Structures are given as structure tokens and as C-alpha cells.
């Protein structure tokens, strides 16, 4: 683009420090980037978008607290800045981005791909296409909103897809959660409230401050002490159903019976 460029305020939202640093380095070489802020999870991204009002957002799809799509839902289509998705996601999501003409950077990406993304972003910033952009974002959310029946789980340096239907229950372990399946479990850095946002609400319910149960795998409801109950899972595990979550869980149990 020729002529004077408007200063660009950028938010980089990604839970991987190395990915944020890579984007920060590339953005620092852009003469019209006037301000850069970082967010390490989806909840921080929502707060930063509301307080900073960035011109452009680089948004990771998979983050703790809220994923990228959850960030858009929480901020609202009408308030969401132009967005470039930075992702190591699977082909399902990439096809959704392509179908709705949303730009994305597939990790790992190089300088050339980043430059193309920035050039496209500048066309958005230089023209008033807010209604069209909102419509595309809305169509993207409609595509992914039913939630593909898989989770992309990051464990250390590796990633793997897990079918939600295979998850029996989720347990909290400090700053981590553990996904329990038949014969195996996976530990991931996430909070209970964050994973609950990503799980299918037609299956999963919070039953205790430390447990989320997949009611497709609850085989029996047992009485317990002090107003609590026990959920017998398909693998024989017994989860406490606390009084705080009892009404909602019993409603789900009756619906499954």
C-alpha cells in the first residue's frame, strides 16, 4: 500500500510463549504497528480486546480458559476487531476458515506467509467492511458452534485429537485437569471452567468442584451422606455429586434415563 498508513494496534493472543515471541518479532519489523499487547489465554484476550480496542487480533484457536471461538462469542461479533487466526488446528477448522474467507496462519509459519496475512489485514483496515467481516465471523461460528466431536489436546510438546464421546469424566489436579478415558488418561494445562467451555453441553455437567462427568457414561446414581450423591461411571469410578450441582445433574440424569 502506498501513502500514509494509520497506526495499527495489535493484540497477540496465544498460550504458547514461543508462538507469541515469533509474532512479536515479526510485528516489530512492521513500521505501522504502533502498539502490541499479549494475552496468554482466552480470558485475558477478552479483557484486552475490551480495554485496548485493538485494530487487529492474532488469535490462537486452542487456548486455556476460552478457546479462540469462545473469545469471539464472548466479545460479540459487532465488537470483534479484524482477526487472523494462528493455529495448529486440524483440517476441519482450516476448511471452515477457507469456506468463510477468514485468514489464518498455520503453525509453524514463515515470514512470507505472515507478510501475506498482514497485507490482507491492511485491506480490511483501510476499508469499511465491518458488516461483511461480522457476517463471515458469524458464519464461521455457525460452522464450529455445534463443536466438532473432538478436542485438540496439548500434552507437553505433542498434540492429539480426543473424541469427546470417549471421555468418561474430567478431574482437577491443581493448575491442570485430567481427561479420563477407558484404559488411559491425559493431563493438560487447563482450568475446569475452561475445559467446560470446550466440552459438549449436551453430554457434560459439572458435578463437583473437582469433577465434570460425561452423562453418557453414568451407569448408576447412588445415595450418599450429607445430601450428596455418588455417580457410578462406566469404568467403575465413583464421583461425588455435590449439593451445589445436584439439581442440574439430576435433570441431566433423568433426561438420559
Give the separation between CA 257 and CA 247, rounded to whole angstroms: 16
pLDDT tens by residue, 206-230: 999 999 999 999 998 888 776 678 9
> What tens digit of pLDDT does each residue of 74-113 get?
899 888 988 998 887 655 567 667 766 678 888 888 999 9
CATH topology of domain 8-144: Rossmann fold (3.40.50)
Query: Residue 147: pLDDT band by 50, 70, 90 thresholds?
Result: low
- For the chain, give every residue range classified as CATH 3.40.50.2300: 8-144
Q: What is the pLDDT of residue 1?
A: 39
C-alpha torsion angle, residues 162, 63, 142, 199 (rounded to 10) = 40
Burial class (CB in 10 A: 0-12, 13-18, 19+), 57: buried
Between β-strands 56-60 and 8-13, what pairing exists: parallel, antiparallel or unpaired? parallel
Lowest mean pLDDT among 24-38, 89-103, 131-145: 89-103
What is the residue-averaged pLDDT of the chain? 84
pLDDT of residue 209: 92
Torsions phi, psi of 218, nearest 5?
Answer: -85, 125
Give the chain as a DSSP string: --SPPPPEEEEEE-S-HHHHHHHHHHHHT-TTEEEEEEESSHHHHHHHHHHH--SEEEEESS-SSS-HHHHHHHH-GGGPPPEEEEE---HHHHHHHHHTT--EEESS--HHHHHHHHHHHHHHHTS--HHHHHHHHHHHHHHHTT--SEEEEEETTEEEEEEGGGEEEEEEETTEEEEEETTEEEEES--HHHHHHHS-TTTEEEEETTEEEEGGGEEEEEE-STT-EEEEETTS-EEEE-HHHHHHHHHHHHHH-
Candidates 3.20.20.60, 2.40.50.1020, 1.10.3720.10, 3.40.50.150; correct CATH number of 150-256? 2.40.50.1020
Report the phi/psi class of residue 226: left, alpha or beta, with left for phi > 0 and alpha for psi in -120 to 50.
left
Q: 164 vs 107, 158, 182, CA distance in Å?
A: 24, 19, 12
Give the pLDDT of residue 50. Answer: 95
User: What residue ranges of the chain are covered by domains with CATH 2.40.50.1020?
Assistant: 150-256
Amino acid at each position: 500500500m502506498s501513502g500514509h498508513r494509520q497506526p495499527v494496534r495489535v493484540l497477540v493472543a496465544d498460550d504458547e510463549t514461543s508462538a507469541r515471541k515469533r509474532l512479536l518479532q515479526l510485528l516489530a519489523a512492521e513500521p505501522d504497528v504502533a502498539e502490541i499487547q499479549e494475552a496468554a489465554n482466552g480470558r485475558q484476550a477478552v479483557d484486552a480486546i475490551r480495554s485496548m480496542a485493538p485494530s487487529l487480533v492474532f488469535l490462537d484457536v486452542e487456548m486455556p480458559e476460552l478457546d479462540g471461538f469462545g473469545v469471539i462469542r464472548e466479545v460479540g461479533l459487532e465488537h470483534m476487531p479484524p482477526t487472523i487466526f494462528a493455529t495448529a488446528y486440524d483440517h476441519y477448522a482450516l476448511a471452515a476458515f477457507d469456506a468463510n474467507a477468514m485468514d489464518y496462519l498455520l503453525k509453524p509459519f514463515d515470514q512470507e506467509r505472515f507478510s501475506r496475512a498482514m497485507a490482507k489485514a491492511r485491506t480490511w483496515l483501510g476499508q469499511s467492511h465491518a458488516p461483511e467481516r461480522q457476517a463471515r465471523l458469524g458464519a464461521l461460528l455457525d460452522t464450529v458452534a455445534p463443536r466438532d466431536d473432538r478436542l485438540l489436546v496439548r500434552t507437553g510438546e505433542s498434540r492429539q485429537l480426543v473424541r469427546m464421546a470417549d471421555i468418561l469424566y474430567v478431574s482437577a489436579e491443581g493448575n491442570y485437569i485430567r481427561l479420563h478415558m477407558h484404559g488411559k488418561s491425559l493431563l493438560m494445562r487447563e482450568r475446569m471452567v475452561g475445559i467446560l467451555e470446550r466440552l459438549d453441553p449436551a453430554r457434560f455437567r459439572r458435578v463437583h468442584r473437582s469433577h465434570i462427568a460425561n452423562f453418557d457414561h453414568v451407569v448408576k446414581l447412588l445415595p450418599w451422606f450429607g445430601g450428596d450423591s455418588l455417580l457410578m461411571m462406566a469404568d467403575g469410578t465413583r464421583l461425588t455429586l455435590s449439593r451445589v450441582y445436584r439439581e442440574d445433574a439430576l435433570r441431566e440424569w433423568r433426561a438420559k434415563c
